[in-house]
Amino acid sequence: MRLLIVGSLEGHMITAGKIAFERGAKVATVDDINQAMSSLRTGQGADLLLVDIDLDIDTLCKNLLAERFSVPVIACGIGTQPSKAGDAIRSGAKEYIPLPPDAELIAAVLAAVTEETTALVFKDPATAAVLRLAEQIAPSDASVLVTGESGTGKEVMSRYLHSKSKRAKNHFISVNCAAIPENLLESELFGHEKGAFTGAIARRIGKFEEANGGTLLLDEISEMHPRLQAKLLRAVQEREIDRVGGTQPIKVDIRLLATSNRNLEEEVKKGNFREDLYYRLNVVNIEMPALRERPLDIEILAEHFIGKYAKSNGIAKPALTPEAKHQLLQHHWRGNVRELENTMHRAVLLSRDNLISPEAIMLTGSATFGPTPIATPSVPPAVPPAIPGYPAPGKAVASSQPMSGAEASGGAMVGRTVADVERDLILNTLDHCLGNRTHAANILGISIRTLRNKLKLYSEDGIEITGPGGNDSLSPSL
């Protein structure tokens, strides 16, 4: 755990840092948000920021987002300051901690951040078999390719491999190759020198250098452009990189992990992925089973997410009714664990009388597995109240009038263009996935790059696009 403390608050922040250090964290301190950003750009990295609430947390969070630093922010202030704390959380801070610091509270925050990135919750023998393989190869420095459908937990497995490796005390750095535009990904991976291109206002250390001594995860590597794959191959083979605009090669000592929800062998045959790079990455392959292939994990994961979101929303943990459990077990889970997590998050917010009933589950689609599919009720269930930041329940409510034969067979779409129907399908799917692009692309059967391009066109036409977490935005991170 790397903790970066930003600000002092009359010395209380330093005290919090000492507590974190005693609990095993590596602690660094800076005075303001500009120094914090400089520290991140130079590759010192952080897994968590503790920030003085009197600093400009809104600007800090915007800068982190703009420069693609995925680091949780915890605001700290002296005593309880509801107004400032609310502003900080609306700006993007995860929590507010009152100071002087309580040792147990600091320890709980560190534990929560660690658990969120490395927790493995399972019960099914299929998952246990995968973990046995992971534990066997984790101590080596061999490159590992983690494959599986979107939402199966490939990044969680990658962090688990790092935690069980001899590099566990060093950095784990993750780069989502699908989320970063092609023209920026090279700089993100290899860094750049000041003035290397328009906007390069300072030298920035890339993820290869930041991960030096530790583990680098290239998430969704199948989305990387073939041009950049050639430069990546050299870095993998030689453990040597060149910053954009640099003149000297830089040696790096890393263990490389990669994930893909595509069949890379097929991508090689199609000419979309370099064969030599594929063999360099695929020294060991760990395939994550789909959630429907490990049914004993469904209930235990559901309970885990219910507890997580009940705690984060400050409510008592609601109980699953037997009918709701049955509904979960019968669902197909095309989005796997990610879909289950989103479903349980909604269910916690929509629970009543401390119970989660089928009405709160709000599953979509009719695909099921198992011997006893759930019958569709003849009377529509009551629509629960809308929750801010989440798709409106019953958004596509059927008319109370019976449909004509033409409408039932698709006649209701007559007169609409294919582009209009495609747009509605894409936006409704993204809405269902609470803005998660990777999940939506998987359900739609298109690449994340294609989805990004479509959303960019819609955004330019002035259409509101659901952002990550279910928030609406006219300028989504594409």
Name the more confident of 417 and 329.
329
pLDDT of residue 115: 62
Q: Are 163 and 175 in a shared domain?
A: yes
Domain count, the chain: 4
Q: Are 316 and 281 in a shared domain?
A: no
pLDDT of residue 367: 41
pLDDT of residue 319: 96
Least confident of 132-136, 372-376, 419-423: 372-376
- Reduced 3-state DSSP string for the chain: CEEEEECCCCCHHHHHHHHHHHCCCEEEEECCHHHHHHHHHCCCCCCEEEEECCCCHHHHHHHHHHCCCCCCEEEEEECCCHHHHHHHHHHCCCEEEEECCCHHHHHHHHHHHHHHHHCCCCCCHHHHHHHHHHHHHCCCCCCEEEECCCCCCHHHHHHHHHHCCCCCCCCEEEEECCCCCHHHHHHHHHCECCCCCCCCCCCECCHHHHCCCCEEEEECHHHCCHHHHHHHHHHHHHCEECCECCCCCEECCCEEEEEECCCHHHHHHHCCCCHHHHHHHCCEEEECCCHHHCCHHHHHHHHHHHHHHHHHCCCCCCEECHHHHHHHHHECCCCHHHHHHHHHHHHHHHCECCEECHHHHCCCCCCECCCCCCCCCCCCCCCCCCCCCCCCCCCCCCCCCCCCHHHHCCHHHCCCCHHHHHHHHHHHHHHHCCCCHHHHHHHHCCCHHHHHHHHHHHHHCCCCEECCCCCEECCCCC
Name the more confident of 228 and 434.
228
Q: Are 270 and 188 in a shared domain?
A: yes
Using the predicted structure, report yes or no on whether residue 402 has a pLDDT greater than 50. no
Rounded mean pLDDT, 142-157: 94
Using the predicted structure, report yes or no on whether residue 135 has a pLDDT greater than 90. yes
Its domain, for residue 314, covers 292-361
Using the predicted structure, report yes or no on whether residue 118 has a pLDDT greater than 90. no
Q: Are 272 and 302 in a shared domain?
A: no
Rounded mean pLDDT, 156-168: 92
pLDDT digits (tens, 9 = 90+) for 417-442: 777 778 888 888 888 777 888 778 87
Rounded mean pLDDT, 216-231: 92
Q: Are 182 and 242 in a shared domain?
A: yes
Rounded mean pLDDT, 41-49: 81
pLDDT of residue 413: 56
pLDDT of residue 467: 73
End-of-domain residue from the set 59, 90, 118: 118
pLDDT of residue 296: 95
Using the predicted structure, report yes or no on whether residue 387 has a pLDDT greater than 80. no
pLDDT of residue 445: 72
Name the more confident of 105 and 321.
321
pLDDT digits (tens, 9 = 90+) for 246-265: 888 999 999 999 999 999 99
Domain CATH code at residue 454:
1.10.10
Domain CATH code at residue 9:
3.40.50.2300
Q: Are 191 and 223 in a shared domain?
A: yes
Least confident of 114-123, 204-213, 226-235, 280-289: 114-123
Q: What is the mean pLDDT of the chain?
A: 81
Q: Are 279 and 307 in a shared domain?
A: no
Q: Are 434 and 314 in a shared domain?
A: no
Using the predicted structure, report yes or no on whether residue 290 has a pLDDT greater than 80. yes
Q: Are 275 and 306 in a shared domain?
A: no
pLDDT digits (tens, 9 = 90+) for 69-83: 878 899 988 888 888
pLDDT of residue 364: 61
Name the more confident of 468 and 104.
104
Least confident of 117-121, 147-151, 173-177: 117-121
Least confident of 101-105, 369-373, 426-430, 461-465: 369-373
Least confident of 22-36, 326-340, 370-384: 370-384
Q: Are 249 and 269 in a shared domain?
A: yes
Is 274 within the bounds of a domain? yes
Domain CATH code at residue 252:
3.40.50.300
Q: Are 153 and 207 in a shared domain?
A: yes
Domain CATH code at residue 313:
1.10.8.60
Least confident of 37-51, 228-242, 291-305: 37-51
Using the predicted structure, report yes or no on whether residue 407 has a pLDDT greater than 90. no
pLDDT digits (tens, 9 = 90+) for 173-198: 999 898 888 878 998 999 998 888 87
Using the predicted structure, report yes or no on whether residue 388 has a pLDDT greater than 60. no
Q: Are 171 and 271 in a shared domain?
A: yes
Name the more confident of 477 and 118.
118
